[in-house]
Amino acid sequence: MSVGLDSSVNLERAIKQIAQEGYHFAGRYYCQTDHPKLLTPSEARAISAAGVYIVAVWKNGYPTSSGYFTYNTGLEDAQMAYNYARTIIGQPADTPIYFTVDYDATLEDARGGISEYFRGVVEAMKAGAEQHGVHYDIGIYGSGSVCENIMSQFAEITYAWLSMAAGWSDSREFEKWNLKQGPSTTVCGIAIDTDISNGNGGGFKLS
């Protein structure tokens, strides 16, 4: 297993030291533009040049309650994520973008609004690939219960990032994760969450 981190802070100034300290991948955010947590092209190039893999995760607004998750929001989020990955970052094809469910969702939520949200995500990502010829895989970040339920509903969702909140539903039992979030800490004065990969976390580097 490899060790990595995720952060809502631009890592460009510190990435060389981060690499020297043994972190092999960095989870960074896609979101609507001009947000402080947004992965920038120059940061992506710097991370790649330091030999660290990038893991792309979409988190826009507050996906922290059931009210966020609708079919139309899934469509819009995935369209923006796809376009940013392809046209701004140049994310390589056939690597994943993770979409977040950042709360301890109930089974009812997972089978209701969250399911509808990911139906929109899947449709938008398929449409993007058909239109532009660049396919991206789809991942989900959340509790064990949410990851299990959504992945069982959608064969297209092939990556799971298990939240660090071990008390969330079925998170201790879920074993099909690609990435698993761990304790928070700081590195180079930057607040991070630690992560481990099962060896197939979906990271990429820019050439």
Instruction: Assign 151 a pLDDT band (cuts: 50, 70, 90).
Output: very high
Write out pLDDT tens, residues 63-87: 999 999 999 999 999 999 999 999 9
Write out pLDDT tens, residues 116-137: 999 999 999 999 999 999 999 9
Q: What token pair was written down for 164?
A: 């660090």
| Crossing angle for the helix pair 71-83 and 113-132, to the nearest 10 degrees | 40
Instruction: Assign 1 a pLDDT band (cuts: 50, 70, 90).
Output: low
Instruction: Assign 34 a pLDDT band (cuts: 50, 70, 90).
Output: low
Distances (CA, A) of 84 to 19, 77, 104, 195: 25, 11, 28, 24
Q: Residue 205 phi/psi, 5° resolution? A: -125, 150
Please give the CATH topology (third level) of the domain spanning 2-197. TIM Barrel (3.20.20)
Residue 61, pLDDT score: 86
| Crossing angle for the helix pair 144-153 and 113-132, to the nearest 10 degrees | 50
Would you list the domain boundaries of the chain? 2-197
Instruction: Determine the straight-line distance between the first and last CA of the chain, rounded to whole angstroms.
Output: 24
Q: Report the predicted TM-score, pTM, of the whole model to 2 decimal places.
A: 0.96
46-70: average pLDDT: 96
